[in-house]
Structure 1
Amino acid sequence: MSNKYVFFLGGYDAEMLEIRNTLEERGEWFYDRKLSWGAYLSAYKNEIDGLSADAIPVFIELKLDVTPPKNFKIIDHHDEKTGKDKKTSIEQVADLLGIELNRRQQLISANDKGHIREMRKFCATDEEIVEIRALDRKAQGVTEDDERLAEKSIEEHIEKVTDDAVIVNSLTNKTSPVFDLLYDKYTHIFVFTPDGEMNYSGTGAVVNSLVKRYEEGQKENPSLEFWYGGDLPDYGFFGAKSQINEDDVKEILNAPEKKIISQHIFMFPFRLDTEDTVKELKSKIEKEGWQHKPFDFKFGDPDAAVKYSEYVYFHEYVRKAIFSDGSDDISYYFERAIPDGARIVLHIKDKKSYTLPIHHISLRLFDTKVGILTLELLNYYDYPAVNNIFHINEFGRRIYPQFIDEWEGIEKTKKTFLADKIEFYFGGEPIIEDFRCKDFLQKKLRVASYIAHLLGETLKDKFTPVIDDRMFTVCWYGDDGLSHCLRRKKGNGYEYESSDIWYSLIYVDGSVRGGIANKDMQRELIKQATYGRWAEYGTLYGVSRYSLVCVTDRGDFGYNTIRNHVQRMYYQIAIILLAQRASILKFSDDVSKISGKIESMKGKDEHGELEEIAKKVRDLHSSFIHFVNRLWFTEVTPQEQGIEMYNMAVNNMGLTEQLNELRHEIKELYEFIDMQYEKEINRSFALLDKIAFIFLPIVVVASLLGMNIFSPEDIPFSWYGRIGLPIILTIVAYAVAKSLGRYYRKKRY
């Protein structure tokens, strides 16, 4: 117990209630009038007047509307005292008393600073979150009637201002149940109450705009009252005794400078089914809006520095594969001009919609007859929650139904992981893909209409997906709370090693708890796919067959440096990996087709068929050697982190095993062709043997009987010479034929 401090408690919530419990347990001297939010110091005027001279009054979350004693202390974390780097009231009380907060108190503190999002930083379970939020609402005086009215307000009195902003005209003055019900459903939530108050929960940028607006209003009306707090400058809340109209809300939402919350790069690898060379395709697709962009930079270019850094990051032999310059190109790189208002809208069944601006679209064609179409989308402050990131990645990458249910049809797929509808705005009329059954129930695989539109008429019906219904996803996500949570120590390891959230991000699982029901297996999969060199800084990379993801905090280094590395260097590594994977799968498909030709050769003109198949095998082998020498790399960069991440990706994608299997399959084709030629030549020599067997005795007999076309004077041999000469000539002819056969076989193959 401290004999000098006297505590005066402010408005009730879960935090204030826990402060009271702590003071009571320690026997501290305090006054508590069980006030509501927005409490004033004048409520304790009599108690203050009765204080002894040596007492130190501590005012907790009380507005100073009367003159306080000279030796007072204020504990608060609202208004100018708020922010993610400021301590909450309960933390300040703990410091004053020299005690440490337990787990439950830490969660109460986190809840008071940043609601559910802040509790996630402490890796709070769903059960803990439900308990703390219920405690907070009860402490604020929320009744069952208020809970019911909050539900009714959302059902009947919610107005959508933008895609991710709503105004709720609440039927109750208690706003916390409204905010709790709408958490993670909208980014910007305005609640207008019957008593004339306005409350907002959302981004720090909007809170800042509201504060500035009301500060200006106070110059004309000093009695204008408002308050704010939270995890600023990222997220926060704002409240005022007066309301603004819908036009003001829209103006405020459009005013703040937007920062990127996450960036999503979707990559569609495909096989080219055409006899045209990539060089021949180049001139055709340039007529359809694609611009060929050889890699180049020079001093004075605005992006010369970043291009230089990207260029020198890779080994020289790798640069030739990904940075085309117009000479001896392994790949050709194209871009599309992005029109104003270009965006994709993801409509998810029974969930929210996501409108994401299109930042960049590119196409890369490799001379192994594979291509990669890339769409880069940006998520600003509109969708900050981790569930939003799950949904964008999961539903944004799907380009055709993975299955169609026998009873529910495609609706079952849409309830699982297929978007209900995707709107693609790219100048002109929007392209709407609503994934209807009749469009996909056909033998020829069909992809989403906006993908086909981007590839254009030249490649129409000439491309085939080489993976499945999912595009590969490269994603950077900046979130202080998640970064802090995943890096927390847990036993001898880290929180991320068993985190449902981190698993779902790596393996692009649309829900936190879906996809796996074996914790040991989940832990092992996370270990295999996580690059944790910078885990203690809160920076994690995940590499799987489906994705390359990165989570950082929102500091300058994470936002400006790591995000750009993901967008450039690691994206290029993903390009290499997908080109390798797509090429191997294409070669494997070619092997399968040749094997099918061999199977169908039986009973036909085997000689003619063999000629055609042998040519295909030679062409395949030539292309494979070209691929191995120019596009297959054991190392892509001299940078240690790049080396380790590339090796991890190659291992997780199983590329080395696939390459070795392909090499074995091509070798078997060679051996089969060799065996067939050997068989064909042996048949020829068998026939020659039969001819020799028949005619050799005849020749010998004829010689003995004197059937010679030469006169005796022309043959300078005795009688045994006349017999031996035909035999020798026959043997020589046989040997020459045998040698010519071997030479012919080697020459043909």
Structure 2
Amino acid sequence: MENSLYSYHVFLFPFKWQHQELDPEADLDAKFNLSDFRKKIGAPWIRKEYKLDSFERFNEFDYFYGHVREILYDLDIDLSDESTQGNKELINHFEYQLPEEECELHYCIQLSDETRFFLRIDSILLNIYSTGTAILSFHLRNFTYRDPGDILKINQFGRRLYPPFYDLESGSAIFGTKDRTKSESALNKTKAYELPDKIWLGAKGTSPNPNSLLVEDFSGYLTIETIKNGPFRIPAFVKGLFEKDFLKEYSSVNKSRGNTIKGKGILIHPILDSRMFVVSWFADDTLINALIAANKGEKSVKKLEEWWYKYVFVDGGSMTCQDQEMREQLLKTATYNRWIDWGTVFGISRYSLVMLTSTGVDSFLIRHLQTMYYKMAELCQVQRATILNYADEVTHVSHLLLEKKQRQRTLEKIATLYKKYLVFINKIYFKEVTAQEQGIEMYDLLQQQMRIPEDVFSLDKQIEELHNYSSFEKNEHNNDLLTKITIIGAIFLPLGFVASLMDWQVLEDDFLSGPGILAPFWMRIGVVIFISVAMVLLMDAVTSFKFNIKNHRYRMLLRVLFYAVFFGLGIYLILSFK
């Protein structure tokens, strides 16, 4: 059993999902139905509700505001109240059942130079949300590697889901010739700098089993046929955690209308790109002392400062920013150093939340990173993923606006999307999540680095425009309906008016007498209907001409005159009947 914990790592994989058996045009409520997901996920995943069954859980639970907990936790019945009745249909929490043998399952990373890292899996968690997003997270403990360079490599290579790019031969770019990159070498340099050679889940110190469903060597990306529908293929160390064919890529399904391939699984697609979000803690006295010295304006070792930049921005090789002034500005924005003199500093970027401490750090800080700070990072990932997912839905609905036959369906989808957006604003997106001062500051920094407020504002404008369009369309429909009712009323108005004016006794025998349609009653009715229709049609036709009459009162006077003439004619004809 290991004695010293050198670092702690969490890789978060945010993705969007929907049920595969549904038509791609299905309503959002049907696409993202959590009850159906619960029924299908199966072993070895077990749904676990959040219970206050330990002092540790109390500390974490009490850290957040009550209204925030509804999206953070799948609440047990003892923690539910009237304000959290919708919790079960907002988030479902699942945990992967690890083998009972202690330390058997590890997160294994092999680099192109045969270097290997084995990190003990603490837990594998899955949170599914009714917004059509989900977060799969690997929680890992490092009891073996203490070199700062190894920590950078673990974060850089361990977070990859698929290749970010191919290494193309240079001739085509220089001479404008056809690219002749060979498939067997297309990922050689990519694996040297950005992509691991393999990632698998297995026992510590062992080689990957080629027959295992949990080994990803990225060899599938060397064949164009396997990526023609899109760059993403679910990595084996993710897909192998579920029953066969439970997870499938969006791109593997033909979405063309009338030719949808249906199944019983779940379609997923990464919300961001080929990288997972990293939460990490590492303890090193030399590094933290260098940062303390730099913070006090003392001369520091440049190489150690560079390491901090790489740790925050998850660079495994060379720094991705070579301009010193820009690098200093980026680090200043990304560094949270409230407790730096106490040997603790945080770094927050768009893809990471990291903590560097001295080796004598109190354990409660590590626990805070594993619980409160991790939950804040997870919440921000859910927010960011939901924004991007809804932005994609807005684009899809906007496309439907061009199809007149889809009018009613489009309005329904806009209404559902607007309802989902209101749920997001009120139950997922928060300006503040805790009353603790340092929590407020770190959450603000996470929001700022991920540009979430700006993205929410942009999405709000898009949703508002769609909602306004929907309201306009509904008003137009109601106006058309009122117009039709008005026309019908105008047609039958003379009949009612004349009948009341002449005091017809329509139920008297002598009034109804007569052979067939020649009865006085029916003849009078026929005349009135004919006059009514003719009056409306002729009046509309005449008043539609352009008389260059700009004053609206003259147009109204003209219409009144037509009504008077036709009423007089109608009464005259009716009185002429004997």
Give the alignment's TM-score, normalised by structure 2: 0.70
The CA deviation at 1:449 is 1.2
State the one-letter code of the partner of 1:309: N
Alpha-carbon distance in 2 for matches of 1:470, 1:708: 80
Asked if residue 338 in structure 1 is aligned to residue 115 in structure 2, the reply is no
The CA deviation at 1:672 is 2.3
Asked if residue 284 in structure 1 is aligned to residue 46 in structure 2, the reply is no
Work out whether residues 541 and 548 of structure 1, in 8 Å CA contact, stay in contact via their aligned partners in 2: yes
Alpha-carbon distance in 2 for matches of 1:430, 1:710: 86
Runs (5+) with no aligned partner, structure 1: 1-255, 299-303, 716-721, 735-749
CA displacement, residues 383-430 of structure 1 (integer Å, 9 cap, x when unaligned): 211110110000000001111233342223212200111222279946
Asked if residue 322 in structure 1 is aligned to residue 72 in structure 2, the reply is yes
The CA deviation at 1:676 is 3.7
Work out whether residues 360 and 375 of structure 1, in 8 Å CA contact, stay in contact via their aligned partners in 2: yes
Seen in structure 2, the aligned counterparts of structure 1 residues 350 and 578 have a Cα distance that, compared at 3 Å, is: same
Q: Find 1:420's aligned residue among 197, 200, 206.
A: 197
**Map of 1:628-639 to 2, 5 A cutoff?**
628-639=425-436
Q: Find 2:414's aligned residue among 617, 624, 639.
A: 617
Task: Work out which of the two has the higher radius of gyration on C-alpha atoms and give 1 or 2.
Answer: 1
Q: Find 2:55's aligned residue among 288, 305, 327.
A: 305
Secondary structure at the aligned position of 1:419 is classed as coil
CA displacement, residues 59-91 of structure 1 (integer Å, 9 cap, x when unaligned): xxxxxxxxxxxxxxxxxxxxxxxxxxxxxxxxx
The CA deviation at 1:363 is 0.7
Runs (5+) with no aligned partner, structure 2: 20-30, 78-84, 169-180, 204-208, 250-266, 506-527, 541-578
**Map of 1:466-485 to 2, 5 A cutoff?**
466-485=271-290
Secondary structure at the aligned position of 1:345 is classed as strand
Which residue number in structure 2 is paired with residue 359 of structure 1?
A: 122
Asked if residue 265 in structure 1 is aligned to residue 10 in structure 2, the reply is yes
Which residue number in structure 2 is paired with residue 503 of structure 1?
A: 309
How many residue pairs were aligned?
Answer: 446
Seen in structure 2, the aligned counterparts of structure 1 residues 496 and 508 have a Cα distance that, compared at 3 Å, is: farther
Work out whether residues 496 and 502 of structure 1, in 8 Å CA contact, stay in contact via their aligned partners in 2: no
Seen in structure 2, the aligned counterparts of structure 1 residues 711 and 309 have a Cα distance that, compared at 3 Å, is: closer
Which residue number in structure 2 is paired with residue 433 of structure 1?
A: 216
Work out whether residues 321 and 631 of structure 1, in 8 Å CA contact, stay in contact via their aligned partners in 2: yes
CA displacement, residues 448-471 of structure 1 (integer Å, 9 cap, x when unaligned): 111122244444441111111000
Alpha-carbon distance in 2 for matches of 1:613, 1:684: 20
Work out whether residues 478 and 553 of structure 1, in 8 Å CA contact, stay in contact via their aligned partners in 2: yes
Which residue number in structure 2 is paired with residue 350 of structure 1?
A: 113
Higher relative contact order (CA 8 A, sep 6+): 2
Q: Find 1:666's aligned residue among 455, 460, 463.
A: 463
Alpha-carbon distance in 2 for matches of 1:348, 1:598: 49
The CA deviation at 1:320 is 1.9
Work out whether residues 269 and 371 of structure 1, in 8 Å CA contact, stay in contact via their aligned partners in 2: yes
Alpha-carbon distance in 2 for matches of 1:503, 1:470: 18
Alpha-carbon distance in 2 for matches of 1:432, 1:588: 34
Which residue number in structure 2 is paired with residue 714 of structure 1?
A: 504
Work out whether residues 343 and 357 of structure 1, in 8 Å CA contact, stay in contact via their aligned partners in 2: yes
Identity across aligned pairs (percent)?
29
Q: Find 1:411's aligned residue among 185, 188, 208.
A: 188
The CA deviation at 1:630 is 1.1
CA-based RMSD: 3.4
Which residue number in structure 1 is paired with residue 334 of structure 2?
A: 529
Work out whether residues 363 and 371 of structure 1, in 8 Å CA contact, stay in contact via their aligned partners in 2: yes
Secondary structure at the aligned position of 1:359 is classed as strand
Work out whether residues 46 and 94 of structure 2, in 8 Å CA contact, stay in contact via their aligned partners in 1: yes
Secondary structure at the aligned position of 2:241 is classed as helix
The CA deviation at 1:371 is 0.9
CA displacement, residues 231-271 of structure 1 (integer Å, 9 cap, x when unaligned): xxxxxxxxxxxxxxxxxxxxxxxxx8531111110010111
**Map of 1:207-222 to 2, 5 A cutoff?**
none
The CA deviation at 1:370 is 1.2
The CA deviation at 1:323 is 2.2
Secondary structure at the aligned position of 1:412 is classed as helix
Work out whether residues 107 and 201 of structure 2, in 8 Å CA contact, stay in contact via their aligned partners in 1: yes
Work out whether residues 234 and 248 of structure 2, in 8 Å CA contact, stay in contact via their aligned partners in 1: no
Work out whether residues 32 and 130 of structure 2, in 8 Å CA contact, stay in contact via their aligned partners in 1: no
Alpha-carbon distance in 1 for matches of 2:478, 2:400: 21
Secondary structure at the aligned position of 1:443 is classed as coil
Work out whether residues 213 and 237 of structure 2, in 8 Å CA contact, stay in contact via their aligned partners in 1: no
Seen in structure 2, the aligned counterparts of structure 1 residues 517 and 676 have a Cα distance that, compared at 3 Å, is: same
State the one-letter code of the partner of 2:407: L
Asked if residue 564 in structure 1 is aligned to residue 367 in structure 2, the reply is yes
Work out whether residues 278 and 369 of structure 1, in 8 Å CA contact, stay in contact via their aligned partners in 2: no
Asked if residue 447 in structure 1 is aligned to residue 224 in structure 2, the reply is no
Which deviates more from structure 2 when the two are superposed, residues 436-445 or residues 573-582?
A: 436-445
Give the alignment's TM-score, normalised by structure 1: 0.55
The CA deviation at 1:681 is 5.9
Which residue number in structure 2 is paired with residue 647 of structure 1?
A: 444
Work out whether residues 486 and 538 of structure 1, in 8 Å CA contact, stay in contact via their aligned partners in 2: no
The CA deviation at 1:279 is 2.3
